[in-house]
Amino acid sequence: MFRRLHEPDGQSVSIDFEGEIINVAAGETVAAAVLAAGAEHSRTTPVTGATRLPFCMMGACFDCLMEIDGIPNRQACMVRVENGMKVRRQEGKRRLEA
């Protein structure tokens, strides 16, 4: 659904998105990286399980919630990618860590 205008050049980092290693541009947000990777959805809602993707990209709508480095419900449009970051979809309500 989205594509990059130019491939991440010199300063690319790699993140793990749902078990797949993808190359993304340093400094961009997790939401941008996940969209550019062609994700069909980034979360399902806790109420009806509907699929969603980031909507506003500016921290207002909370539709970009994802599990980032083990921490659930983070706003992917407000978090920058870091090398080795683990990103997963937020499926419904979050769980507590053991």
Partner 1 sequence: MFGAAVAYGLARDGVSTIMLDGADGSLRAARGNFGLVWVQSKGLGLQRYADWSRESAHLWEDFAADLRDSAGIDVNHQNGGGLNLLLSDEERENYRRNIDIMRQQAGADGYDCEIIERDEIQKMVPGLRVGEGVAGGSFGPHDGHVNPLKMLRALHRGFTQLSGRYFPCNEVNHISHDGGVFVAKSAGNRFTAPKIVLACGHGITKLAPMVGLNTPIRPQRGQVLVTERIEATVEMALGSIRQTDEGGFMFGNSEEETGFDDGTTLPVTRNIAARAVKAFPQLENVRLVRNWGCIRVLTPDKCAIYDESETMPGAYVATSHSGVTLGAVNARHISRWVSTGDTPPNFDQFSARRFDVPATA
Partner 2 sequence: MSDTVDFLIIGGGPAGLAAATLADELGLSTLVLDEQSEPGGQIYRGIETVHPKTLSLLGEDYGQGAEIAQAFRKSGAAYKPDASVWRVDEDGMVAYSHNGKGATAKGRRLLIATGAMERPVPIPGWTLPGVMTAGGAQVLLKSAGVVPSGRVVVAGCGPLALLVTQQLVTAGVNVAALLETTRIGDYFSAARHLPKALRARNYLSKGMKMRRSIRAAGVAIHSGVEKLAAIGDNRVQSVSFQSGGSQSEIPVDSLLLHFGVAPNTQITRQVGCDHEWYEAQRYWRPIRNEWGATNCDAIAVAGDGGGIDGAVAAALTGRLAALDAAHRHGVIDSVERDRRATPIRAELGIHSAIRPLLDALFTPPRDICAPKDNETIVCRCEEVSVSDLREAITLGAMGPNQLKSFTRCGMGPCQGRMCGLTVAELIAEANGEPVENVGYYRIRPPIKPVTLGELASMSD
Residues that bind partner 2 in the complex, under the rule CB under 8 A: 1-6, 25, 27-29, 32-33, 35-36, 40-41, 45, 47-48, 50-63, 65, 73, 77-78, 80
Check binding of 39 to ligand FES (CB under 6 A).
no
- Are 3 and 36 in contact by the 8 Å Cβ rule? The answer is yes
Name which of partner 1, ligand FES, partner 2, none residue 25 binds, using a CB cut-off of 5 to 8 Å depending on partner kind: partner 2
User: Of the candidates 2, 28, 16, 5, which has an alpha carbon nearest to the alpha carbon of residue 68?
Assistant: 16
Interacting residues of 69 by C-beta distance below 8 A, sequence separation 6+: 85, 86
Name which of partner 2, ligand FES, partner 1, none residue 97 binds, using a CB cut-off of 5 to 8 Å depending on partner kind: partner 1
Nearer to ligand FES, 59 or 92 (CB): 59
17: helix, coil or strand? strand
